[in-house]
Amino acid sequence: MKNTALLTGASSGIGKELAKIHASKGRDLILVARRLELLQQLQAEIIEKYKVQVEIIQKDLSVVGSSQELYDEVTAKGWQVDYLFNNAGFGGKGAFLDRDLEADVEMVRLNVMALLKLTHLFGKDMKARGKGKILQTASTAGFLPGPYQNTYFATKAFVVSHTQGLAHELKGTGVTVTALCPGPVATEFAQVAGFGGSKMFDGAASAYKTAFKAYNATEKGKTIFISELQYAFLIKILMPFMPTSITAAIIAKMQQS
């Protein structure tokens, strides 16, 4: 395999589009997700269209020990990971104390722990080789307080902060790490998280455009990439002057609309 990307959350949305973009450049893929049938469909589609090597691994990365299992399986087969796309994740609507605790613990295991472990495991190999690129799917939520989607926002804040620190540590190593921070994106995320029909996702960006921009940002080695200009303006220009209590009130109203 050559110029190989390991991509989690590959069966739909941004992950699926990242897979196609990577393959369009003649680069190979290891696709990871829970839903085997969707992985098989994507594998067949990419192989037929782009004539690259595509391997699939069915794995639920929210399960304790699954990240190590994935790393062990990939290395045992002799596959070298040149690009790591940590894209798997999910959200959930509702006041924190009213939500099922185990659902939020599972969210932390996937959005934070799986990302942390895979970055450490494959990142060490990249550093030893002096070459590699890591893309972490974060969110503009990582810069904001998140009432009524509190745990999700907190997990993305972790990804943003971890990426910023790691990028500094990796200077001069040949390895880069990028955090993709989109606003609402037109994927199945809204339905899964309980936001079906919410006005918050009106005018959401397309998964393809978001993935395309993210891939280019990764190639350039950008650290934090906010994929829509309006959200970059909000976070970089307006938010520093806005009290957190007001920001939280605005977010709360958006979540409940």
Q: Residue by residue, what is the 3-state secondary structure of the chain?
A: CCCCEEEECCCCHHHHHHHHHHHHCCCCEEEEECCHHHHHHHHHHHHHHHCCCEEEEECCCCCCCHHHHHHHHHHHCCCCCCEEEECCCCCCCCCHHHCCHHHHHHHHHHHHHHHHHHHHHHHHHHHHHCCEEEEEECCHHHHCCCCCCHHHHHHHHHHHHHHHHHHHHCCCCCEEEEEEECCCEECCHHHHHCCCCCHHHCCCEEHHHHHHHHHHHHHHCCCEEECCHHHHHHHHHHHHHCCHHHHHHHHHHHHHC
User: Catalytic site residue 152?
Assistant: yes
Q: Pick the catalytic residue: 83, 152, 215, 231?
A: 152
Residues 6+ apart with CB under 8 A from 142: 153, 156, 157, 158, 159, 160, 161, 179, 181
Provide the annotated active-site residues: 152
